[in-house]
Structure 1
Amino acid sequence: MEELLENLSSVSVTYSHNSVVKPHPKYSEFKRRSKEESQEVRRQELLKEQKRRRSERFDASRDLEAIFSKTRRPHRSIAKDKYKMMHSEWLVDVPTDMSSKWKMLLCPEGKHVLVIAVHGRTKLMDRRRQEVRSFSSVLPGGSPECPHELTVLDGIWVAREKTLYVLDMLCWAHHDVVDCEAEFRLFWLECKFKEMPEMADREANQGLRFRRLETHPCEPGTVEAAMSRFPPFPGGGPTLDGVLFYHLEAGYAMGRTTPLVGWLKGYMVPDLLGVPVAAGHLGGRPPGLSLRDHIQAEEKLMHRRRQRNRKERVRADKMECEQGGASADASEDAMDQQEDAVTEKDPSQSCQPTGVDSIVESAVSSQLMTS
């Protein structure tokens, strides 16, 4: 024992490069890329990856493998179930090419839906792939006159107006445009609305109508002019929910969150872009000194509302089971009021980003710590 103590007495604690009492020299690099990588870097990487995938799909569509192997693969029809919503990120830094490569859309408060016209019916599907409404429309595939077509649009359903505000296009008459750039999709959508004015006719769409959301260049003067109008939509219209920013080279990222589509609430625009907005757009602004504070406040509010709405749905289902089912002859006006209430209580049904706490934390930590 004495020999052991004598040997240990010669051992000294050092603070060398690999000391156990100091952080590991490689610890600072652990997950450094995901924590400090800005939205701008991820945008450039995503654009490169998008071009690579588009090139691969183009080669695959040419069926070169079948040509050289002399065997042809069976043709696969486009399935409506493959289409999923694209989700935006909070815009936490100003892109370097904002004025030349981006466009903005003012989004009304409503329910974010996919419009799927196929088999002679037009259905509105929410984020959970639940049917919101079914009707006959003039869209290709949306009426018994053309049941063999397929059209898929991305839009916002405002129930109290019975109006579908169209954001984007995924497929038109079996022509898939998911891999096309946003600039082309938005241009083609505009052309289709000009070719088919009956889309805005309620009588042709069983009391509903389609309206295309206007796009604006992201130049400071244009942004200021668009945000200075209040109310933002013609004829009063719905209230403003937020602003979507589209990169013109972005494809439609089905089922994914992409930094090539940004989202801001109306009151956040002055903080990030330095552009004044109408006083009416500043309503609901939470107390905070930075954009990060505003985003965190929105995330917390949305989380609380989702929890409350989930509890109310469980309570309603339980009451319905106890009463033997709800009455099936409820009027359409009552259904529309219920949809409006759900959208108001559950902002996750709107275009606002959901489940992006880690994205906000990683992106904001490197971009907004000095704000």
Structure 2
Amino acid sequence: MDDVIDPNDHETFHKSQHAIAQLNELQVCRRLAVLEQQRHKREEEWSYLKDLKKIVPHIDITKDSTDDQYRWEFSKNLMMSEWMMEEPDDLEDFLLVPCPKGTRSTLIHELPPDEPVGFLRRPKFLEKKPHYAKLYSKTGHKLLEVKTNIPPDTILDCFYVKKIKTIYILDCMKYDGRDLTNCDTAFRRYWIGSKFYECRLGVIDIRVPKNELKLDFLEGFEFKQPHRVHHCFQRMPYFHDFAELDGYLFYHKDCSYTPGESPLVLWLFPFMIDEVLTMFRVHKDYNTFKPDNYTNYIEFIEKFNVKKEEKNKKRFKNKKKNQEDEKDKNQVGSPNEISFEDNQPCGSKRILKKNDRFDEDLVK
């Protein structure tokens, strides 16, 4: 059986609480350091008028890239979350975003190779709409194509729920050629939320036979309005289209969009809320989703991280093995050919075909 913290064991309990405090203190320090670094970067950018060519997104979609190139470029490019180890003191500076259970993905509408960039682009009324956008997994594999009103040169951070054929927009890295990665979370979500309704991004051309998808925007809640947050936690089910709630993202409102895990983006499952947040409680039915042998959220996080690390190691091992097998396969010659080294000083190789005359003197 797995080790379980006995509530009557006061020594073990206090050690666990001390470990929680240390982890939380470390997370707070990293969060403050990242915030200061991002603020300094914004000040440098606003100190002079930047040339448009210097605004380079994390993913270059202005070139005609192959799927293999995308797979490499998208790897570790999304901004991922860390566990919320303890309730932040500055909780009012965070934005709560309920997330569905689905595939974390990136929705991209490429700029055509012959399309001008920036102010040289053709007027809006001359552009043909709607457009085809491609959906990629977080590892860079193309999942599907969909015809939408999303403008060219746009990159969106999304969740794809295959069961109900819905793409939920979470964040925006680039919109219509404008790089938003250095903007804070509050502005990025305000921008894409406004464009979603203003430009009718959720409208999909249903005349296309393969278009059975729909787009939606994930609503956010500010902790400065606790009554709305309370209503969010008490909603069961949360999504009206039968999507399953996976958990809650806590976005710091001053956070820039940076690839990889960030201490400014935190995550909790619904059944953890009552333990971590002091002022809020989730609907009682969410607590029924606790795993078997669940004791507390700290122990659950530790076990979850161990399983995730083992899974990643196994995936890396299989990937390496497949690469080696592919390499060995490419090195093996054709069965109709015989390769040998002659006794020439250069040590060159000669090839004999199956139907060629075999000279024994050559292989002595």
**TM-score normalised according to structure 1 size:** 0.63
How much has 1:207 moved relative to structure 2?
2.3
- The question of whether the paired residues in 2 share the 8 Å contact of 1:47 and 1:250 is answered with yes
**How far apart, CA to CA, are the structure 1 residues paired with 2:27 and 2:54?**
39
1:124 aligns with 2:135: yes
Q: Which runs of 5+ in 2 are unaligned?
A: 1-21, 62-69, 113-130, 323-364
1:182 aligns with 2:185: yes
How much has 1:75 moved relative to structure 2?
6.8
1:203 aligns with 2:206: yes
Report the residue type matching 1:89 in the other structure.
E
More helix by share: 1
> Is the partner of 1:38 in helix, strand or coil?
helix
How much has 1:152 moved relative to structure 2?
0.6
Q: Residues 189 and 198 from structure 1, CA distance in 2 versus in 1: closer, same or farther, beyond 3 angstroms?
A: closer
**How far apart, CA to CA, are the structure 2 residues paired with 1:76 and 1:227?**
39
> Is the partner of 2:148 in helix, strand or coil?
coil
Q: 1:98-156, CA deviations, whole angstroms, 9 ceiling, x for partnerless residues?
A: 12x11101100000001111135311111211111123221102xxxxxxxx0111010
Task: Look up the match of 2:249.
Answer: 244
Task: Look up the match of 1:266.
Answer: 270
Matching residue within 41, 52, 56 for 2:29 = 41
- The question of whether the paired residues in 2 share the 8 Å contact of 1:166 and 1:213 is answered with yes
Q: Residues 204 and 173 from structure 1, CA distance in 2 versus in 1: closer, same or farther, beyond 3 angstroms?
A: farther
- The question of whether the paired residues in 1 share the 8 Å contact of 2:150 and 2:201 is answered with no
- The question of whether the paired residues in 2 share the 8 Å contact of 1:288 and 1:294 is answered with yes
Report the residue type matching 1:111 in the other structure.
T
Q: Residues 168 and 76 from structure 1, CA distance in 2 versus in 1: closer, same or farther, beyond 3 angstroms?
A: closer
Q: Residues 309 and 258 from structure 1, CA distance in 2 versus in 1: closer, same or farther, beyond 3 angstroms?
A: closer
**How far apart, CA to CA, are the structure 2 residues paired with 1:309 and 1:105?**
30
> Is the partner of 1:189 in helix, strand or coil?
helix
Q: 1:183-226, CA deviations, whole angstroms, 9 ceiling, x for partnerless residues?
A: 11111111111212352446278222110011111254433321
How much has 1:179 moved relative to structure 2?
0.4
- Pick 1 or 2: higher relative contact order, CA cutoff 8 A, min separation 6: 1
**How far apart, CA to CA, are the structure 1 residues paired with 2:203 and 2:288?**
31
> Is the partner of 1:225 in helix, strand or coil?
helix
Q: Residues 127 and 95 from structure 1, CA distance in 2 versus in 1: closer, same or farther, beyond 3 angstroms?
A: same
**How far apart, CA to CA, are the structure 2 residues paired with 1:36 and 1:247?**
16
> Is the partner of 1:234 in helix, strand or coil?
coil
Q: Residues 75 and 224 from structure 1, CA distance in 2 versus in 1: closer, same or farther, beyond 3 angstroms?
A: closer
> Is the partner of 1:227 in helix, strand or coil?
helix
Matching residue within 167, 189, 194 for 1:191 = 194
- The question of whether the paired residues in 1 share the 8 Å contact of 2:249 and 2:268 is answered with yes
Task: Look up the match of 1:86.
Answer: 79
**How far apart, CA to CA, are the structure 1 residues paired with 2:146 and 2:320?**
28
How much has 1:299 moved relative to structure 2?
2.6
Identity percentage over the alignment?
25
- The question of whether the paired residues in 1 share the 8 Å contact of 2:147 and 2:205 is answered with no
**How far apart, CA to CA, are the structure 1 residues paired with 2:205 and 2:251?**
29
Q: Residues 311 and 192 from structure 1, CA distance in 2 versus in 1: closer, same or farther, beyond 3 angstroms?
A: same
Aligned residue pairs, count: 264
Task: Look up the match of 1:3.
Answer: none
- The question of whether the paired residues in 2 share the 8 Å contact of 1:202 and 1:209 is answered with no
Matching residue within 145, 153, 157 for 2:156 = 153
> Is the partner of 1:157 in helix, strand or coil?
strand
How much has 1:280 moved relative to structure 2?
2.8
**How far apart, CA to CA, are the structure 2 residues paired with 1:310 and 1:278?**
39
Q: Residues 283 and 132 from structure 1, CA distance in 2 versus in 1: closer, same or farther, beyond 3 angstroms?
A: farther
1:234 aligns with 2:240: yes
**How far apart, CA to CA, are the structure 2 residues paired with 1:271 and 1:97?**
18
**How far apart, CA to CA, are the structure 2 residues paired with 1:281 and 1:89?**
21
Q: Residues 76 and 176 from structure 1, CA distance in 2 versus in 1: closer, same or farther, beyond 3 angstroms?
A: closer
Task: Look up the match of 1:284.
Answer: 289
Report the residue type matching 1:135 in the other structure.
V
Task: Look up the match of 1:138.
Answer: 149
Q: 1:53-81, CA deviations, whole angstroms, 9 ceiling, x for partnerless residues?
A: 22333457536xxxxxxxxx977775226
TM-align CA RMSD = 3.2
How much has 1:161 moved relative to structure 2?
1.3
**How far apart, CA to CA, are the structure 1 residues paired with 2:56 and 2:101?**
35
Task: Look up the match of 1:54.
Answer: 42
Q: Residues 198 and 301 from structure 1, CA distance in 2 versus in 1: closer, same or farther, beyond 3 angstroms?
A: same
Report the residue type matching 1:124 in the other structure.
L
